[in-house]
Amino acid sequence: MKLLILVPAYNEEEVLNTVLKGLKKLNFKSIKKEIVLINDGSTDRTEQIAKKNKVTILSHPINRGLGGALGTGLQYARNMNADIVVTFDADGQHSHKDIIRILKPIIEKKADFVIGSRLLKNSQMPPDRKFINFVANILNYILWSVWITDSQSGLRALSKNAIGKIQIKMNKMEVASEFFKEIKKNNLKVKEIPIKAIYTNYSRGKGQKNTNAINILVKLLLYRIAGQK
């Protein structure tokens, strides 16, 4: 069984070495692991650090955004005939130990798509992020009829079935919600698993800006309207 861990990264030199070293510590008895760094037009030492850690590197000549990076990663996974994909943020917000937990429903064939939820147990999420996440959750339900407690989580696991069917078209942060459009369209089974969120001043600064929420909302509404034509 082949697992790809997709790590989209844009100018993450400050924490990337720690993130990649954590991922490299993961060992699975019957799963072959490949860490794939999608360098999304970084202008710092992101690519050099990835090379030092001897991971697979896919590079964009310009910054396309999170959706663009994940789209590139998923296409690579299809080309490599991967059995499972995990998406993992490069800003240090996730614990590599949680990957084992989100893989379990996929391996046991109980889900096609697993979300690592930061809100199911003892959440450390700041109040402003909780509010924005809640609004995004409601919007996802209105648009795609899929209810998730943490729709904006970057820690996800996809089965081979989901890898083959999910097609990412949006380039920016709205990709988090586009996943649920694809889940609904392809009738994929979703499961949430509680995970730990690691919030630092760095990860907060690198994450989605609160002021960008309205822009994302407008894009998603237009995307939904266009899809109905």
One DSSP character per residue, 143-201 reads HH----TTTT-S-EEEEHHHHHH------STTHHHHHHHHHHHTT--EEEEE--B---H
Q: Which CATH architecture has domain 2-227?
A: Alpha-Beta Complex (3.90)
What are the residue ranges spanned by the domains of the chain? 2-227
Please tell me the pTM assigned to this model: 0.89
164-198 residue pLDDT tens: 999 999 888 889 889 999 999 999 999 999 998 88
Residue 203 has pLDDT above 90, yes or no: no
Q: What is the largest CA-CA distance in the chain?
A: 48
Name residues whose C-beta falls within 8 Å of residue 34's C-beta, 6 or more positions apart in sequence: 2, 3, 4, 5, 56, 80, 82
pLDDT tier, 135 (very low <50, low <70, confident <90, very high otherwise): confident
Residue 202, pLDDT score:
80
> What mean pLDDT value characterizes the chain?
90
pLDDT tier, 229 (very low <50, low <70, confident <90, very high otherwise): very low
**Nearest-angstrom CA–CA distance, 193 and 97:** 13
Q: Are 177 and 139 in contact (CB under 8 A)?
A: yes
> What is the share, in percent, of the chain residues with pLDDT greater than 90?
68
**Nearest-angstrom CA–CA distance, 177 and 153:** 10
110-114, 166-170, 198-202, 218-222: segment of lowest average pLDDT:
218-222
Return the residue matching tokens 């609160």.
Answer: 210
Residue 210 has pLDDT above 60, yes or no: no
Average pLDDT over residues 217-225: 61
